[in-house]
Structure 1
Amino acid sequence: MASTVRRAVGFAFVGSFALLVPVFVGWGELQTIVGTIPVGSVLDPAQATTILVSVPFLAVTALSLITTRGRLFDLFAFPADHEEGRLYGLASFCFVTAGLTMFALQFDLSLPAFVASVFLLVYGNLAEKVAHQFTKDPFVLTTIFAGTAFCMAVTGQVLTSSILGTPLSLSLAVFLGASGSLLAALLRSMLFDRDDPIVLLAVAFALWLFADLPLSLNGIHVVGALCLTLVFGYLSYALETASVTGMLSGVLLALLTVVLGDYGWFAVLISFFVVGGLATKFRYETKRHRGLAQENEGARGSGNVLANSAVALIAVIGAAAHTTFGVSESVFLFAFTGAIAAAMSDTLSSEIGGLFGPPRLITTMRPVQPGTNGGVTWQGVVAGIGGAAVVAMIAVIFFDLTALGAGIVVLAGVVGMTVDSLLGATVEGPLLDNMAVNFLATLSAAIAAVGMSLVTGVVVL
């Protein structure tokens, strides 16, 4: 058995200790012990329970730091651990898990979500390491990781609820399992194995956020959303419009958009991916010759996808929690459509406008070389406006926007496109990279869309 597989088995075994948390929490004897703590002690019963439940992971953390050689060391050691002479990888994983345990108990957060986060990571990793002995295909390995992680996340939630004797929504379990496994797969594709504690932190807090949202989930809706987004992800990868990480980012965003929003929100989002992907591939060789083509044969990576969609995702989550904020859902809808319109406008203006020239710098209107940040052409501007109009048209179909509402979406897209060019001409390179510029452009468009909708009375808080 390869050392990587043995290490994955060891981490899966330690990760299984997460089930001890609901066991201890539901253990009557523990409550009896805690109940003997006198009033006025240094620790109150809640704090004592938190520490006692975290003991298994804290004990493994301590053991990891004092183990410097032997079979146990060889089992859990990463290559860097051999150089440093300590099991820092295992220690950091267990320390983070103990911290998450304390956090969950202190703030009364979902224990099924906590166990799901640990299970999906350690067992998904194990399945991937085993598969790696037979194939090196990144798509296959990612699929195996995500599929196993999903199954184990759902299993962990079911077991936790059974141990605690609490009801479990299977729809919520499937949604948390799917979103958690996709997020973990995405993060692990960008990080190293030793960074799994970071992945665990991100997944746990994301699942706690989703579990706490006031959602009314329907099983058919969740399963349908999952199937739809998986088909979309596979097609984007097969057609080479997205890399593996770009595919994961797109599938995760699409799943959250369908479940937290609805199919109308998904239609708006997918318009950007489809039209933007086709525009990137359009006359690709000509753009390559001019030095304007996207890298990796036009297949967009996770950074590009997230930079253009992060604001829209925040808007979707805000819409799902709008009753908590006491804000109209329409406010978040305009933020969402405005951000997507900006992403569409910027993509089309760059991909179509780059075929014409010479471009002119937006701040001076002087001719510049193709590919210069902040360079624009009138053809690109027209294409950008057309892209925003496509988003507005889809929003009209699914959300019955008025002509004024549609005009706001188009104008917000133009605002975002213009901000992108202005930032490109002034601060991109020395201060900001392209992904930061894209994020700020979509953010400005979202703010503009919300502001205009409120001023014109299309939306009321």
Structure 2
Amino acid sequence: MTSTVRRAGAFAAVGAISLAVPVVSQTFSRPVATVAAAAPFVTIAALALYVIEGGVVFELFARPGDRRDGRLYGLAGFALSIAGLSLLATQFEMPIGVFTMSVFVLSFGNLASNAVRSRGADPIAATTAFVAVAFLAGLGSHAAADRILGLPVDLPVLAFLAATGALTAALLRTVLFERDDPLVLLSVGLLLWLFADLAIDVTPQGIVIALGITVALGYVSFALETASLPGMLTGVLLGLLTIVVGDVGWFAMLITFFGLGGLSSKFKYDRKVQRGIAQPNEGARGSGNVLANSLVALFAVIAHAAAPRIDAVPQDLFLFVFAGSVAAAMSDTLSSEIGGLYDRPRLITTFEVVDPGTDGGVTWQGALAGLVGAAIIAGIGAGMFETIGAAGAAVVVAAGVVGMTVDSLLGALIEDRYVGNQGVNFLATAAAGVAGGGFAIALGLAPI
């Protein structure tokens, strides 16, 4: 057993102490339970910072930076982050099962990933092991906490939360350093708290279908090299959330953008390389690109689920925000990937001829491709939702065109001066979402 696997196992053992929290919360009153829940982890942090300076225990937990500094800062940060989450679980309204699930997802996911990597496996195998073991560990820990607390065990809901936690933790672990585990833990805990608080209705059939579809999505996107590893994890996570929190109709629009957008990046890739307009990494889109184009859509899905609690906001409004933002992402992607293959683009602000690939440069071929992309999303929306219909489809197309136009304008005016390409993509999809919602309200499709 390598030192990295032993260290991951030791951290997992510390994380396993979190299962004592439901016991103490069941046994003691809230103030006493809060202290009793955090005490073991605060004690571990204190020992790591001020007592353990060498020896077997130090070597067991020490990361490379800890050896240089002579202190177990990694262990201290990990223990204190668990203590902080335990405070949210015992003193505030975070479900204790969400607390234990978050800790187990990261702790045992790391252990599985290190164990597989120690055998010489590639990053894909290590990440797959992380997600699989984190999912099972998170599911089991939440179910155990519910049993201890005498709460009903809703396996479909727990499976959704465990899958969300495992994918989120795996994604963050691919883009952050090992020392950032406290940030990963807190991020997973807060996200799962949000979804637990929404009280999403998940059926056994629904979660099986959602997991099956999203796993297949991840495999296909990576096999076709339309997404990097972080991009694939981001797409799978967003797909899962869209299916479960929204429904299949929402997912159909999003997956169409992922699929056609990814394939358009591969279209005539060699020629794009010669023209200097190709996406890096062989056209495989990373997590930043996926998130920039999908954050507004994810917000709309979550807001749609939360809308029944806010009487003044109609649910249908967020359907148009979602569809408009996805239409804009599709429209902008197709317009740039197709339009960049043609000569004599013109700058959208002055109409002067510029070189292909110039920020803000547009061609009529690219604009036409973008319009078709927006129409595809609108057609799917109209077919899947009676709320959208013919008038709503026109709204979605208009929102997509607004987003495509805003993207070109921002590209010409501020890209690479104040914000990067991903920032422009986010702002364009946000503008499209606002336009979609605004047009829907104006036409009475989402009356307030």
* Shorter-chain TM band: over 0.9
Q: Aligned to 1:98, which of 67, 78, 83?
A: 83
SS at 2:349 equivalent: coil
Aligned amino acid, residue 8 of structure 1: A
Counterpart CA distance in 1 for 2:427 and 2:66 is 40
Please name the residue that 1:389 is paired with: 375
Aligned to 1:344: 330
Q: Which residue of 1 aligns with 2:41?
A: 57
1: CA distance, partners of 2:316 / 2:260:
25
Aligned match of 1:328:
314
Alpha-carbon offset, residue 422 of structure 1: 0.9
Aligned residues: 445
Which residue is 1:214 aligned to? 199
**Deviation per residue, 1:134-182 (Å, 9 max, x gap):** 1331111110100000000001011111111111211111000001000
Which residue matches 2:442?
455
Task: Output aligned runs, 1:29-428, within 5 Å.
Answer: 30-31=28-29, 46-66=30-50, 67-326=52-311, 327-400=313-386, 401-428=388-415
Q: Distance in 2 between matches of 1:274 and 1:126?
A: 33
SS at match of 1:321: helix
For residue 7 of structure 1, what is the amino acid of its counterpart? R
- In 1, distance between residues paired with 2:120 and 2:65? 25
**Partner amino acid, structure 1, of 2:322:** F
Q: Which amino acid aligns with 2:364?
A: W
User: Could you give the per-residue CA deviations for residues 169-199 of structure 1, whole angstroms, max 9, x where no partner exists?
Assistant: 1111100000100000000000111111110
Contact 1:214 1:320 in 2 (8 A): no
Whether the 8 Å CA contact 2:383–2:389 is kept in 1: the answer is no
User: In 2, Cα distance between the equivalents of 1:247 and 1:441?
Assistant: 22
1:60-92 CA deviation, whole Å, 9 max, x = no partner?
Answer: 111110122111111111111111111111101
Distance 1:232 1:208 in 2: 26
Partners of 1:47 and 1:376 lie apart in 2 by 63
Alignment correspondent of 2:23? 23
Tell me the SS of whatever aligns to 2:445: coil
For the Cα contact (< 8 Å) 1:6–1:75, is it kept in 2?
A: yes
- Distance apart, 1:411 and its partner CA: 0.6
1:424 counterpart SS class: helix
Q: 2-side partners of 1:429 and 1:449: how far apart?
A: 27
Q: Is 2:157–2:201's contact at 8 Å kept on the other side of the alignment?
A: no
Between the aligned partners of 2:337 and 2:120, the Cα distance in structure 1 is 36
RMSD between superposed Cα atoms in Å? 1.0
Mapped to 2, the partners of 1:10 and 1:278 lie a distance apart of: 44
Preserved contact between residue 363 and residue 425 of structure 1 (Cα < 8 Å) = yes
Cα distance in 1 between the residues matched to 2:14 and 2:390: 58
Question: 1:441 maps to what in 2?
Answer: 428
Equivalent AA in structure 1 for residue 34 of structure 2: T
Does residue 4 of the first structure (1) align with residue 36 of the second (2)?
A: no
* Structure 2 SS opposite 1:292: coil
Matched to 2:152, the amino acid is: P
Amino acid at match of 2:20: L
Provide the C-alpha distance between the structure 2 equivalents of 1:135 and 1:146, rounded to a whole number of angstroms. 18
Query: Which piece of structure 1 moves more, 207-216 or 320-329?
Result: 320-329
| Post-superposition offset of 1:47 | 3.4
Alpha carbons 1:12, 1:122 under 8 Å: kept: yes
Shift of 1:19: 0.4
- Distance in 1 between the 2:200 and 2:32 partners? 33
Post-superposition Cα deviations, 1:277-330, rounded to whole Å, max 9, x if no partner, equal 121111111111101111111111111111100110010011111111222221
SS of the equivalent of 1:232 reads: helix
Letter in 1 for 2:8: A
Percent identical: 53
Structure 1 Cα separation of the partners of residues 272 and 332 of structure 2: 16
Aligned partner of residue 161 in structure 1, secondary structure: helix
AA in 2 matched with 1:350: S
- Distance in 1 between residues matched to 2:362 and 2:441, nearest whole Å: 31
CA–CA distance in structure 1, aligned partners of residues 200 and 124 of structure 2: 32
